[in-house]
């Protein structure tokens, strides 16, 4: 009887070990609901995230920096290597290269985010709701005045009744919201904001509100606003794909190299963002403000 019991116990231990090893190797990706692989576990992102020594129980507790830093009710309290580093509800960081005064400004060497409602500034992007928008050389003054600069000179102005365009030495002026342009290798017709169509040798665009289709050698976009938008942009050997569903609820952006491998992944669900770059750095953000950066094990 003792020998049979010993054999039965040994067999049970072997089966249990095999089952544990099988479970440990299993991987599941149902982000943001559930994501699991050998070294990480995410449940109802970002409520619970575990990656090696990194732990996050949002919004109550977070452990970073290989377990040396502990955050309680971020950004109120931070303890690093047993020493209290931060304990303030409003102001939490002032260094030579970083400055944050929540919720007004967040400045790092890479970006400046200014969020003083109704204004928002991040790098070259500026927005003052509902009056003004600037991004790159484009300007929009609501409700409906738009202009674009090129080399410091205005080359296009659009307002509800008049469109002015400068192309080299040529000038074009269209009155009211309907018009057409032709000649050379392209032509266009439009009746804004309901319809616009243009064709060139290497690009086509159709806007039939709320449907948009763009095709060119570098870009492909299909959208049905505000429900769905899917686009793909190709630059050299790099390809970027973007998917938006019921913006701003869900957005996913991926960049691929020439072999088709993902070199950058950005996901956003409501106010929560998650990014994985080529170096393996994972970044958790809320309302675009980085909260935690860590290297995935």
pLDDT tens for each residue of 104-128? 777 676 666 776 667 777 667 777 7
SS3 37: coil
Rounded Cα distance between 122 and 289, Å, is 11
Q: Which residues of 115-133 are buried (b: 16+ CB within 10 A; e: fewer)?
A: beeeebbeeeeebbeeeeb
What pLDDT shows up at residue 16? 45
Element (H, E) at 150: strand 145-150
Which residues, at least 6 apart from 220, have a Cβ–Cβ distance to it below 8 Å? 214, 231, 232
Q: Indicate whether 255 belongs to any domain.
A: yes
pLDDT in tens, 127-177: 777 677 777 777 777 666 777 777 667 777 777 667 777 776 666 777 666
Domain assignment present for residue 130? The answer is no
Radius of gyration of the chain, Cα coordinates, nearest whole angstrom: 27
The answer as to whether 9 is a domain residue is no
Confidence of residue 287 (pLDDT cuts 50, 70, 90): confident
d(CA 1, CA 289): 66
Q: CB count, 10 Å around CB of 74?
A: 19
Any domain includes 38? yes
Q: Is 16 inside a domain boundary?
A: no
Domain closes at, from 43, 58, 86: 86
Please state the pTM of the whole predicted model.
Answer: 0.52
What domain range is 52 assigned to? Answer: 23-86
Task: Pull the structure tokens for residue 214.
Answer: 């763009």
Question: At CA 126, angle to CA 120 and CA 129, rounded to 5?
Answer: 60
Tell me whether residue 273 is exposed, middle or buried, using C-beta atoms within 10 angstroms of its C-beta: 0 to 12, 13 to 18, 19 or more.
Answer: buried
Report how far apart, in Å, the C-alpha atoms of 126 and of each of 57, 138, 223, 241, 258 are.
34, 11, 25, 25, 34
- Of 20-24, 226-230, 264-268, 270-274, the one with minimum mean pLDDT is 20-24
State the distance between the two ends of the chain, measured CA to CA, in whole angstroms. Answer: 48
Query: Where is the domain boundary, 86, 110, 140?
Result: 86
Helix (H, G, I), strand (E, B) or coil at 123: coil
Say whether pLDDT at 64 is over 60: yes
User: Quick check: 45 and 272 in contact, CB under 8 A?
Assistant: yes
Residues 214, 223: contact at Cβ < 8 Å? no
* Total tally of structural domains belonging to the chain: 2
Asked if residue 223 is part of any domain, the answer here is yes
Last residue of a domain, one of 66, 86, 106: 86
* Residue 220 placed within a domain: yes
Q: Is residue 243 part of a domain?
A: yes
| Contact (Cβ atoms closer than 8 angstroms) between residue 295 and residue 289 | no
- Average pLDDT of the segment spanning 172-194: 71
């Amino acid at each position: 009887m003792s020998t049979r019991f010993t054999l039965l116990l040994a067999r049970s231990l072997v089966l249990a070990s095999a089952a544990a090893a099988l479970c440990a190797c299993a991987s599941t990706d149902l982000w943001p609901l559930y994501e699991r692989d050998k070294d990480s576990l995410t449940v109802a992102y970002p409520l619970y995230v575990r990656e090696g020594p990194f732990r996050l129980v949002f919004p109550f507790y977070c452990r970073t920096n290989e377990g040396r830093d502990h955050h309680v009710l971020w950004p109120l309290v931070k303890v690093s290597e047993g020493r209290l580093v931060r304990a303030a509800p409003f102001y939490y960081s002032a260094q030579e290269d970083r400055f944050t005064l929540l919720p007004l400004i967040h400045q790092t060497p890479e970006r400046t985010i200014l969020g003083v409602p109704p204004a928002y500034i991040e790098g070259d992007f500026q927005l003052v709701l509902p009056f003004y928008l600037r991004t790159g050389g484009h300007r929009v003054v609501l409700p409906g005045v738009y202009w674009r600069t090129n080399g410091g000179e205005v080359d296009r102005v659009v307002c509800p009744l008049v469109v002015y365009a400068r192309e080299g030495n040529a000038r074009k002026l269209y009155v009211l919201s309907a018009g057409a342009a032709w000649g050379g290798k392209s032509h266009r017709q439009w009746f804004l904001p309901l319809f616009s169509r243009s064709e060139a040798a290497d690009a086509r665009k159709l806007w039939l509100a709320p449907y948009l289709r763009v095709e060119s050698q570098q870009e492909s976009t299909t959208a049905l606003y505000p429900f769905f938008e899917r686009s793909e942009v190709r630059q050299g050997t790099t390809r970027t794909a973007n998917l938006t569903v019921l913006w701003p609820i869900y957005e996913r952006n991926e960049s691929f190299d020439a072999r088709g491998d993902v070199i950058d992944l950005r996901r956003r669900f409501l106010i929560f963002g998650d990014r994985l770059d080529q170096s393996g750095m994972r970044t958790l953000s809320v309302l675009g403000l980085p909260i935690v950066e860590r290297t995935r094990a």
